[in-house]
Amino acid sequence: MFSKEYFKYLFRSKKYLLLLIALITLMNVIGNQSDGIMLLIQVFFTMVLSFAMPMDVFYHVHNRKAVDTYFSIPVSRKALMVTGCVFSALVTFFPAACAIIRNTLGDRDISTLLLLAETLLDCASVTVFNSVLYLIGNNIIDGVVMMGAYTFMPLAIIGILNSFVYSYIAGLRSIEFFEARLLSPLYMGFYLLDSSWNGNIDYLSLIGLIVVLILFSYLLYRSYVKRAAERADSQSTQFLSYPFVINFYLISCLFLIASFYNYNYGNLGIFVKDYFFLYVLLFAVFVAAYFLYRRKFYFNYRLPLFYVIVMLISLLCAGVCMKYDGFGLSGCYEKAKGKDYCTISAWVDYHNGIYEYVKEETGEDPQYVQIFIEVGGDDASFHPAMSEKTSDLIEEIRKKAIDYFYDDRDDLSDIGVLYISGKDSRKYYQYDLNEGLDLQTIVEFAKDPAVTVMIGTYNKEYQLMTDGSLRVSQVYEQ
């Protein structure tokens, strides 16, 4: 399984590269560690190595001449694979290990050995993961393209999900139910090391990295040991290479554009007019991606057909999502009833009577007015509990905001935040709370002894006009 001879050969043949790595590591270790830049350089350097080493060690499978040599020498492919991975992982680990030792020696709060073990696991997982990505292609360029494409895939997934959630699910700014870090060993590595540095162990990332190591070791076995040598330097036609990557990014981009449809417009005609150029540009990129894939100009009626079909599906999905209140997800929220603490913070408009009240009370003519309602407190023993009426009021405001989000409207602004905190959870919701927050409602809130209402007034330059704000008592006393 492991070839000592091949390891020695790798070590000897890459002595200049290793020397350079040692030199950079040395500079980093003796550098000023209090300077954050040195740490940043270290992280960046380790990341670069985790990509560069698999490319260097598995270069031969993408070179027609080299593959003849490597696959004909009397060393099993398994041994070449294992030895190459061990070598890559160790080279990637070395600078990181030096930095960890340098930074943690003498610090009793942090276990150096634990951090080293975690870093080694991280380096091994990322090396195996990146090796698999590099081997998806059939030549060096495609190998690099695949590494980049698959590395950014989690970001694309998160971006699109967040954009859709933000545009179509009232109240939510981003996905909360999704552990995005599990999509990439790089992110898991960062989480794991960051948590250990702060004295905790992120078990989810730890298990995730172990799973990646095992799963991708098997995939590497499939893509290296079972690899057809004739793939070297040929077009990457395998499903997981360009066909999947191009379609994935196309679908992602079209759904990303579709996510703008609802939030900004809700009117298909205006939307298509405004985004027409973007659609054309995306199609041009789509054709260019096929050029990169085929290494020649390729145009087939299936390309525009597929493009239009996906575009229509994405818009249809957006429309359905809008019609059915974000597939019902806008109604799945944490209710205020029974919670210890709740705040509502919102900028309000002229229409709800608050501006007039402020003018009367202060004699000022504010440009902007902000309402801050605080119910209860984090420590329940010091604060009166929220009344049922108050919690009903909160839900009423929220319901109006959700209805407003999904009704026809000209404009929508994220000008209100609802924060609900209980024993087990803390949730933020972002709504346009204008519809529900009028003077009468604020007065109702203020009747509850558990509630504090503050009204901030601001001039054109967003400078606070009154010293602090009007207190709730002033409102209630009216």
Partner 1 sequence: MLKINNVYKGFAEKRVLNDLSLEISESSIFGLVGVNGAGKSTLLRCIAGIYRCDAGNVEFNGEDTYLNEQIRKDIFFVNDDPYFPLAANIKSLKEFYASYYPIDEEAYYKALKMFDLDENKQISSFSKGMKRQTLLLFALAIRPKLLLLDEAFDGLDPIVRYHLKRSLYEFIEDNDAIVIISSHNLKELEDICDSYGILEKGRISTYGDLLESKANINKYQLAFKGKIDESFFDQFDLLHQSKEGSVYTLVIKGDRDEIVKKLNELQPLILDTLAVNFEELFIYEHEGGRQDVL
Compare residues 13 and 478 and give the one whose CB is closer to partner 1: 13
Compare residues 59 and 94 and give the one whose CB is closer to partner 1: 59
Smallest gap from residue 69 Cβ to partner 1 (A): 5
Q: Which of 20, 22, 23, 73 binds partner 1 (CB under 8 A)?
A: 73
Contact flags string 76-115 toward partner 1, x per CB under 8 A: xx-x------------------------------------
Q: Which of 75, 86, 385, 465 binds partner 1 (CB under 8 A)?
A: 75
Smallest gap from residue 76 Cβ to partner 1 (A): 5
**Amino acid found at 299:** F
Smallest gap from residue 241 Cβ to partner 1 (A): 15
Point out which span in 56-64, 93-101, 105-113, 326-334 binds partner 1 (CB under 8 A). Answer: 56-64
Smallest gap from residue 301 Cβ to partner 1 (A): 22
- Backbone torsions φ then ψ of 28, nearest 5 degrees: -70, -40
Instruction: Confirm or reject binding of residue 74 to partner 1 (CB under 8 A).
Output: yes
CA distance 450 to 464: 26
Contact flags string 204-233 toward partner 1, x per CB under 8 A: ---------------------x--xxx---
Q: Which of 33, 47, 63, 387 binds partner 1 (CB under 8 A)?
A: 63
Instruction: Confirm or reject binding of residue 69 to partner 1 (CB under 8 A).
Output: yes
CA distance 281 to 261: 17
Smallest gap from residue 324 Cβ to partner 1 (A): 47
Q: Among 48, 22, 86, 39, which Cα is nearest to 186's?
A: 48
- Order the strands of the 416-421 sheet from edge to edge: 426-431, 416-421, 341-348, 368-376, 451-458, 470-471
Q: Among 252, 259, 253, which Cα is nearest to 317's?
A: 259
CA distance 145 to 134: 8
Q: Which of 29, 41, 43, 66 binds partner 1 (CB under 8 A)?
A: 66
Residue 216 burial (CB count, 10 A): 23
Instruction: Confirm or reject binding of residue 193 to partner 1 (CB under 8 A).
Output: no
Smallest gap from residue 330 Cβ to partner 1 (A): 51
Instruction: Confirm or reject binding of residue 1 to partner 1 (CB under 8 A).
Output: no
Smallest gap from residue 59 Cβ to partner 1 (A): 10
Residue 389 burial (CB count, 10 A): 12
DSSP structure string for 356-373: HHHHHHH----SEEEEEE
Q: What does the longest C-alpha to C-alpha distance in the chain come to? A: 93
Smallest gap from residue 224 Cβ to partner 1 (A): 12
Place of tokens 């005609």: 269
Query: With CB under 8 A, what is the number of residues at the site for partner 1?
Result: 26
Place of tokens 């990303």: 256
Compare residues 72 and 381 and give the one whose CB is closer to partner 1: 72
Q: Which residues contact 134 (CB under 8 A, 6 or more apart)?
A: 54, 55, 58, 143, 144, 146, 147
Identify the three-state secondary structure at position 428: strand
Compare residues 13 and 267 and give the one whose CB is closer to partner 1: 13
**Where does residue 208 fall: left (phi above 0), alpha (psi -120 to 50 degrees), or beta otherwise?**
alpha
Smallest gap from residue 192 Cβ to partner 1 (A): 36
Compare residues 9 and 419 and give the one whose CB is closer to partner 1: 9
Q: Among 177, 62, 234, 208, which Cα is nearest to 131's?
A: 62
Instruction: Confirm or reject binding of residue 67 to partner 1 (CB under 8 A).
Output: yes
CA distance 272 to 455: 41
Within residues 121-150, the interface with partner 1 by CB under 8 A covers: none
Smallest gap from residue 65 Cβ to partner 1 (A): 3
Instruction: Confirm or reject binding of residue 388 to partner 1 (CB under 8 A).
Output: no
Within residues 227-286, the interface with partner 1 by CB under 8 A covers: 228-230
Alpha helices in 341-450 (DSSP H): 354-362, 388-406, 439-446
Compare residues 8 and 351 and give the one whose CB is closer to partner 1: 8
**Up-side HSE of residue 460: CA atoms within 13 Å toward CB?**
0
Three-point CA angle 232, 236, 241, nearest 5°: 125
Smallest gap from residue 68 Cβ to partner 1 (A): 5
Within residues 3-22, the interface with partner 1 by CB under 8 A covers: 5-6, 8-9, 12-13
Compare residues 9 and 372 and give the one whose CB is closer to partner 1: 9
**Amino acid found at 281:** L
Smallest gap from residue 64 Cβ to partner 1 (A): 8
Q: Among 126, 59, 115, 63, which Cα is nearest to 91's?
A: 126
Provide the token pair at 372: 């801050």
Identify the three-state secondary structure at position 313: helix
Point out which span in 74-82, 306-314, 397-405, 440-448 binds partner 1 (CB under 8 A). Answer: 74-82
Point out which span in 65-73, 195-203, 392-400, 454-462 binds partner 1 (CB under 8 A). Answer: 65-73
For partner 1, the binding residues (CB under 8 A) are: 5-6, 8-9, 12-13, 60, 63-69, 71-77, 79, 225, 228-230
